[in-house]
Chains A and B, each alone.
Chain A
Amino acid sequence: MKRVLPGFGLSMGVTLTYLGVIVLLPLVALVLRGAEIGPERFWAIVTAPRTLAALQLTLVAGAMATVVNAAYGLLMAWVLVRYDFPGKRVLDALMDIPFALPTAVAGLALSALFSANGWFGALLEPMGIKVVFTIWGVAIAMSFTSIPFVVRTVQPVLEDLDPQYEQAAITLGAHPFTIFRKVIWPVILPSFLVGVTLSFARSLGEFGAVVFIAGNLPMKTEIASLLAVIRLEEYDYNGAAAIALVLLIIALLLLVISNLLQARALPYKAKP
């Protein structure tokens, strides 16, 4: 096939060199290291009580964060698309803050806010609710850093939704909740699920915000990625590689799932 436009070789060369050196080579190093460990040793590392506790904490706190973000994201997308009110633009811009803010800054602010002498902690601790150094703190840090995902995936779909179906449902006398469930929900569901998947993936990978607030107690509030770093600091490269590989596999699975969901969501998207 004759290519009309120039630059195929150049752009291919630049792209492959960059991806090869910056992305692929380090990932290959991890996979090779993991392969060297051998299945039995690998299994022993992954099923060690401390590793299991860390993985469980990461998954459970990530799920908690994702549930909160799913509800909050849906609410925000709905309010930002469907209603007009003063301050709407500011509210919309605020949605991007958790992505713009460095995670270490978010972690610092949250841990100080929820500590005994912080604004939130001073209110919650007398009620017997402890956030810092508990799974709640981990979940809150994960939730904060992945707030925008659901909002930003549902918002454009809701904007493109053709109002005529809703109007038809209204004229047929449907209850507002029925309209939401039968007309709107099926359309936004795929992109909602994409947002939820991305939010969950991000929560599992979150490190900066979590290490500030978690207290990082082994077996209790130690997330999996931190355990991998601790293994590195102990020069236990195999331990680090095994845990990192597990997290990488989970991340790639979630990437594939979100891509499949995106393909399903696409027919509803009018804009690219």
Chain B
Amino acid sequence: MTARRLLIAAALISTLFLVVVPLAYIFSRAFGQGWAAYQANILHPDTLHAIWLTAVVAVIVLPINIAFGIAAAWLVARFRFWGRGLLVLLIEIPFSVSPIIAGICYLLLYGRQGLLGPLLLENGIQILFAVPGIVLVTMFVTSPFVAREVLPLMEAQGSEQEQAAVTLGASGWQIFRRVTLPNIRWALLYGAVLCAARAVGEFGGVSVVSGSIRGQTNTLPLQVELLFNDLNVVGAFAAASTLTLIALVALAVKTLLDRQH
């Protein structure tokens, strides 16, 4: 009984200091100088542009990632083929590769001295230090998120229902829309929420390829760093609080979906 109390107390106190206080501190600093100061910081053109760019990147990345996630899950969960294990490992790789290494890889691929750099230069295509580079790195970093949620569920559910649909003469699209999608919809939504949250918050990889040009290629997390380096700590916390709110909303949706499962 005493052990129980002791352990619960230890859990609560350590979580208070490790998680709750840092979270509370963000809002305390963001609103510490009043609502007007917060508003002025958020409505600064560079910060507004960073919010806009972050949203654009997320809106581009999310549907592509969902399509990839479904395709990968369908492929791995419904078919047996040579190299399947290797493919699963490949899907997981971006999860264990540091985003900063992903950024460096992209620079070595598309950069001026990179593998495809001269080719891009010849054709006047700019990928790095522009939106395409940010989108590509974000796609790398977020690529396993949807697949990782949908794949295990599809494997666990098995393919009997889909096979039955085939024998009843359903087309591929009909099977997907009427049988598969309703079965995986919560896991899909769950993965999409995680992917969106990650896309919005990505920092390391994006910081390498974006060039952090103020008012142009700065996403919101990069703007946090820029303001921090400018010693505008209140501005940094205002931008950070926006990201924190997005994270908390994602978390709330995730917790609700957990109960749906």
Chain A residues close to B by CB (< 8 Å): 3-8, 10-12, 14-15, 18-19, 22-30, 32-33, 72, 75-76, 78-80, 83, 85, 87, 91, 93-98, 100-106, 108-113, 118-120, 143-144, 147, 176, 198, 201, 204-208, 211-212, 225-226, 228-229, 232, 235, 237, 240-241, 244, 247-248, 251-252, 254-255, 258-259, 272
Contact = CB atoms under 8 A, between A and B. Distances in A.
B159 A91 contact: no
Size category of the B interface is 35 or more
Contacts of A79: 7-8, 10-11
Contacts of B104: 30, 228-229, 232, 240-241, 244
Nearest to B68: A18
24 contacts: A3-B79, A6-B171, A11-B79, A12-B75, A14-B71, A19-B90, A27-B105, A29-B108, A72-B14, A72-B18, A83-B7, A91-B12, A97-B251, A101-B244, A102-B203, A102-B247, A105-B244, A205-B99, A207-B203, A208-B204, A212-B225, A225-B101, A255-B96, A272-B152
B148 to A, nearest CB: 13
Nearest to A237: B113
A97 B19 contact: yes
Contacts of A28: 115
Contacts of B237: 108, 112
Given A19-B90, A208-B221, A96 B251 contact: yes
B93 A23 contact: yes
Interface of B: 3-4, 7-8, 10-12, 14-15, 18-23, 25-26, 29, 64, 67-68, 71-72, 74-75, 78-79, 81, 87, 89-94, 96-109, 111, 113-116, 136, 139-140, 143, 152, 155-156, 159, 162-163, 166, 171-172, 175-176, 197, 200-204, 207-208, 221-222, 224-225, 228, 233, 236-237, 240, 243-244, 247-248, 250-251, 254-255
